[in-house]
Amino acid sequence: MAISGKRRFDDDDKVVRYTTAENDFEVEVTRTLQKWCVTVYQLPNRDILAQDFFPERWKALARAQDFIRLLNQRNKKENAEAEVEL
């Protein structure tokens, strides 16, 4: 008997969370309403700063990693500017 559709893996429904180096932001990837949702939270209150939806999981994971990379670079630039002023 053949099964139609794409093969689903157990990891497909798990929530993926990334945090910045300073633990001041968190990016979460979840499955909602037939799409993948990427949400950026400001910690500790978990205020939502940005939210985006993607049809494919790999695109959502890539965007989440982009957000984390950008947020971590922001902290490095601020520290470098503070050192220059001294």
Q: What is the pLDDT of residue 14?
A: 86
The Cα diameter of the chain in Å comes to 72
Residue entry with tokens 């139609």: 4
Q: What is the pLDDT of residue 85?
A: 60
Q: What is the pLDDT of residue 70?
A: 93
Per-residue confidence in pLDDT tens, the chain, 86 aa? 555 555 555 566 789 999 999 999 999 999 998 999 999 999 999 999 999 999 999 999 999 999 999 999 986 666 666 565 65
Q: What is the pLDDT of residue 11?
A: 60
Radius of gyration of the chain (CA): 17
Domain boundaries along the sequence of the chain: 15-85
> Rounded CA gap, 25 and 69, in Å?
11
Report the predicted TM-score, pTM, of the whole model to 2 decimal places. 0.75
β 16-19/35-42 pair status? unpaired
